[in-house]
Amino acid sequence: MNRHERARQIVSLLDLTSLSGTETGADIDALCARADGPGGRVAALCVHARHLPRVRGNLDGLGRSGIELATVANFPAGDLAPPAAVVEIREAVHLGATEVDLVFPHAAFLQGREDAVREFLVQCRQACPVRLKVILESGVLAGPESIRAAARLALDCGADFLKTSTGKAAVHATPEAARVMLETIAERGGEAGFKASGGLRTMADALPYLELAEEILGPGWIGPRTFRFGASGLLDAVLAEAAGRA
């Protein structure tokens, strides 16, 4: 696959994201306008839940069906508070979410409270009838064994995707963490998906994650149902490649 083809592939795998918390209606409209263009159509738009109805209205008005509506829960801190997270998830689904990116309670996990984290994940899974992407915050978990154990726990509790990062921690996505997560997905038959998120701004940032997925799970495994990039700044760089300008 040449760089132009790679660029178009990345666009199709992109969760175009705006989670600053200060977005205006005009900001959301502008985000939606970028979701489909000459470089292709993104996989999802990821915004805070309160903006989901506006996103849906924009996409419907522009005839852009097939783009997922994603939001976040337990974000960004990853608290161990099942009732609050369950309420967030149910409200998000009510507002139109087709995907929920849930922050794993990483601090509690590192404190050895695995049973409580398991119960948290089970309750959140039960409350979520749509695609559930669990954000491990791999930069906080740090060591490969912690990342692997957290990934296995999330998958055991029904996660549809494993996601690296919120983008709010000091360390974002890394190829080292991605390898561990992809290997864990492969161990479980490759049924779950993987999302690289945090600090991805250029084609050079993104390509190692595609190469890892191809190495571990095969090129045919990669698609919007199994692989995503979470980013806001990545789109412009990739569109330049897709248009042959870079």
Show which residues are catalytic.
101, 163, 195
Nearest to 166 by CA among 225, 104, 92: 104
Instruction: Classify burial at 206, counting beta carbons within 10 Å of its beta carbon; exposed 0-12, middle 13-18, buried 19 or more.
Output: buried
CA dihedral (228, 198, 56, 155) positive or negative: positive
How far apart CA 32 and CA 44 sit, in angstroms, is 10
E strand spans, the chain = 14-18, 36-37, 40-41, 44-47, 68-73, 99-103, 131-135, 161-163, 193-197, 227-231
What angle do the packed helices 82-94 and 114-127 form, to 10 degrees?
Answer: 20
Q: Who's near 83: CB < 8 A, 6+ residues apart?
A: none
* 53-65: burial string, b at 16+ Cβ within 10 Å, e else: ebbbebbeeeebe
Contact 165, 141 (CB under 8 A): no
